[in-house]
Chains A and B, each alone.
Chain A
Amino acid sequence: MEPLTESQVIENLRQTEDPSAQYYAAWWLGKMRSQHPDAIPLLLATLGALDDSPVDPDRRGVALNAIRAMGLLKDERTDGALLDRLHSNDYSVREEAARSLGTMGSHAAAEAIRSLLASGLDGAGREQPSTPLLQEPCEALLEALGDIGINDAATLATIKPFTRHHRPLICSAACRALLQLTGDSCWGEQLTQLLLHPEALVRRGALLDLGAAGWTAAVPMIQAAAVEPSLKLVALRGIAENSGNQQVLDVMDALL
């Protein structure tokens, strides 16, 4: 099969008969960091489907991919739409909007994200009855605050309670954000404890969080963790790019 050209992908997103072609097109534009002049307006147009009643599940999928693509394209024309979607009544839409705003480092989003977390462990962090979800997409919201990088007292006070959440992956996200924002090694040490957790899923999450925070002191623990080399390499990439430390490359070489 011939790979699609950018103009074909744009036309696939423009048409509305075939949502699966739109779904792929929205993903492609983000993945390829498309600079096509129609890309942003067309991605924004897909979000309208989220306001339909009832929401069409296929068009919702397209919109979620469009939100992810906006995070990768980092275009200020999408700021307003993504901020609005933080208040969506759809959990996944809030989650993806927060992730994208975090990736974009959107300072304008910090206050809205903080307010979603402000109700703390008993509010945002409480489990929804009979689903695996919490009231708010806490992991994405916490990570976004770390990525946005505003380290004022209000932000730190919002994040700190979540380091004691009963779910280890939420603790991990909170520690990651605090490590990014303060550089205080106590949060890194709490993350390295999670590298010893009996569940592989938790170890993998903590490993990637250590990498995202770029904490060089974690390199020996990452090297020794009982996690797949492929994830160790992703984590070490974050640290190598953050620190420019050549010894990190030597560790990566040994894991190939």
Chain B
Amino acid sequence: MTSSALKDAIRALDRATSTPDLVEATRALCALGDPEAAGTLVKVLGFNNPAVAGVATQGLIQLGRDIVPTLLVSLDARNYGARAWVVKVLSALRDPRGLDLLEHALNADIAPSVRRSATRGLADLEIDPSLKDQQLQRCMQGLLKAGHDDEWVVRYAAAFGLEQRLRTTTVDPSIADQAVAMLQNLASDAEDARVVRHRAVLALQRLNLE
């Protein structure tokens, strides 16, 4: 059932043309707190308008995990900007149902911004207790893979994510060793991007490994 308030808000959004009007209409739609608005907010992410997409992203995150099923079927194959925002929302919600999508986005998406957001998601994803070992293993493998990515920003996210997992979760010792070795590699001269080296050094310091 679509409420009349929601219908009005969607109509206002359809009528908006300038950025300030789009921002205002998107804010109004978010303010309803109605999970039924998720599909429309996802469409807004595809407008290539960062001012509007920023508002819609925050609104989607506030709608919470009820909207995860909508997000899982919302990746626009032709718009990487929109995919990056959707993956960002999914990562922020930390819902274990996002694991397949995040894993696939990291492995297969051509856009570095999508792979970066997916890496962030694998760092923070809440693990389903009944499947803990298997899901944690998949998150860690994803983070290790991200450490080999061609793009500095994905490797940066990997350094962040490996630190996050090693600090907050008990990880199987063999994979923890691989994670530390990856951080050491990212902190070394083998890494081209100075900012990635800085981030990996910081991770090792925080883990008392340096």
Contacts and interface: CB of A to CB of B under 8 A. Distances in A.
Interface of A: 198, 200, 203, 226-230, 233-234, 237, 240-241, 244, 246, 249, 252-253, 256
A253 B167 CA distance: 15
A226 B81 CA distance: 14
A230 B117 CA distance: 10
A200 B18 CA distance: 12
A220 B202 CA distance: 21
B210 to A, nearest CB: 14
B39 interface: no
Interface in B130-176: 152-153, 156-157, 160
Interface string B73-108: 000000001001000100000000000000000000
A256 B50 contact: no
Contacts of B116: 230, 233, 256
A94 B80 CA distance: 33
B81 A246 contact: no
Given A237-B193, A249-B199, A256 B51 contact: no
Interface residues of B, number: 27
B54 A226 contact: yes
Contacts of B81: 228
B84 A256 contact: no
A256 B49 CA distance: 19
A224 B119 CA distance: 23
A250 to B, nearest CB: 9
A231 to B, nearest CB: 8
A228 B51 CA distance: 8
B72 to A, nearest CB: 21
Contact of B50 (A200, A237, A241, A246): A200
B7 interface: no
Q: Which of A203, A233, A234, A253 has the most CB of B within 10 A?
A: A253
Nearest to B52: A226
A252 to B, nearest CB: 7
Nearest to A238: B195
Contact of B120 (A198, A226, A256): A256
B156 A252 contact: yes
